[in-house]
A and B are shown apart, each in its own frame.
Chain A
């Protein structure tokens, strides 16, 4: 019996200026349904490459991905992907952007879909901005739109590539809080990449720490801080500090190795 999502011996090499670059090597991880996994690692350790492969945009050089025991090749319609850049279509209003996957997936834009879009927009506090174009929204608003654009079609797995990276500290906390709320309601399986240890710990069931290039798993740490968590004050808890110190020691070695 295999896990819900099983990554086995994944590797990625590519040619760059005539030399072979090993981006990822022997990456294996089993993820349970509804689990929130965060991945941290030094920059350039192949985190984004990993997500691109999981999303099915590029094939791996080695290894395989099993989704509910089935071998996955190419795009998996059950997997959603929230990229670091919001990648909203600038000529579509917020509402039309969120409706895009429904149009793509052949669902009629009537009835249920419209309602779901409206509900999600309200839930992340974007009411009243439905008909705004992306350039009229702040970075935090755009990123919220990006997230609900993926939630709207109900993928069972959501990949997130440093979605709060470009945002300021206060907005980040607000969005982390909202993300936890959404996750609590819908219990999606989330694989979330970040380089911010605090973020990784506040959100995760398990934190996966990656080594520098070639990226592979250095450690997997379960986070036993009870939920619901308070992202605003989590840094005060003893459990948080303990796990932060442990992870930071491990990460420090990897960062030093890369620099």
Chain B
């Protein structure tokens, strides 16, 4: 965050002298902006440290450690679970299992969702016919389908992947669909007059214009997709972070539960950062402040 702050405005020989003042002004504003961000970042770290310290201080003194655990206990449990001699697999095994299921479900769901979003956005009548059906299917909390998926697809990976897939599919479908619908007709008309054929217009006008929407669909799908994988494991599994949660819950092992929560937290934040970065690069043409950096992580 604290990038090296330049001590001099970058040299610009092309700009005439009159504009040099304006440039300098912009540079000053940008520099204060950077300083402001450095301060925010520093305060964030401090805030985190204070919270952890408070937690450690309160735990076992003011509040029972069995209820809120403590950072120290958490670290201990982490090292223990991450260690090599654990009877039913290390933390890594569980993490990998959940992430693999999430990954495959996410990949298939995102591809299908974007594809269907495109197809239906182009097929007005079909879209109108099936819209209420889609909304009905999507409106039901996904956990209600879980037993059905288990009955259909067994107790191995498949029902978990399918659960993730259905969640991600709808999020990506809806965002792609509305993204394409929101492409201004004037832009398409201009492209037609300029000589664009349907396929060209789709590729060079519609797809880029809809890309911010598609991106936001991909982004919110990550935490929601993980919910699918974990719920699936929570119901029936012998591995995975969801399975761990369910087991720790039965054992009243609060530290374990909080540990899993933290692992999920770190993962979602890291992936979100990665996507923000990718989005920022791909959507560089947007005016600043519109790259979707501010999108909150849903629960």
Contacts and interface: CB of A to CB of B under 8 A. Distances in A.
A77 B192 CA distance: 10
A126 to B, nearest CB: 13
B187 interface: yes
B205 interface: yes
B285 A133 contact: yes
A150 B194 CA distance: 7
Interface string A47-88: 000000001110000000000000000010101110101010
Nearest to B186: A87
Contact of A90 (B191, B195, B286): B286
A112 interface: no
A55 B190 CA distance: 10
A81 B195 contact: no
B205 A57 contact: no
Interface string A136-158: 00000000000001100100000
| Chain B interface size, under 10 / 10 to 19 / 20 to 34 / 35 or more | 20 to 34
Contact of B204 (A55, A85, A103, A135): A103
Contacts of B285: 90-92, 133, 135
B286 A87 contact: no
Contacts of A91: 208-209, 211, 283, 285-286
Contacts of A150: 194
Given A91-B208, A100-B204, A85 B186 contact: yes
Interface string B180-224: 000010110111111111001000110011010000000000000
A104 B195 contact: yes
Given A91-B285, A103-B204, A83 B186 contact: yes
A149 B187 CA distance: 14
B14 interface: yes
A174 to B, nearest CB: 17
Contacts, number: 60
A57 B194 CA distance: 12
A81 B208 CA distance: 22
Given A89-B187, A133-B285, A135-B287, A153 B208 contact: no
Given A90-B285, A90-B286, A133-B285, A81 B191 contact: no
Nearest to A128: B14
A101 interface: yes
A105 interface: yes
Interface in B202-261: 204-205, 208-209, 211
Contact of A104 (B187, B194, B287): B194
A135 to B, nearest CB: 5
Interface string A101-117: 10111000000000000
Contacts of A149: 194
Contacts of B208: 89, 91
Looking at A55, A56, A90, the one whose CB has the most chain B CB atoms below 10 A away is A90
A92 B191 CA distance: 13
Interface string A153-165: 1000000000000
A-B pairs with lowest CB-CB distance, top 9: A91-B285, A101-B194, A104-B195, A104-B196, A105-B195, A87-B190, A135-B287, A81-B193, A133-B285
Interface of A: 55-57, 75, 77, 79-81, 83, 85, 87, 89-92, 100-101, 103-105, 128, 133, 135, 149-150, 153
22 contacts: A55-B193, A56-B193, A57-B189, A75-B193, A77-B195, A80-B193, A81-B190, A83-B190, A87-B184, A89-B209, A90-B285, A90-B286, A91-B286, A101-B195, A103-B204, A104-B191, A104-B195, A104-B197, A104-B204, A133-B284, A135-B285, A150-B194
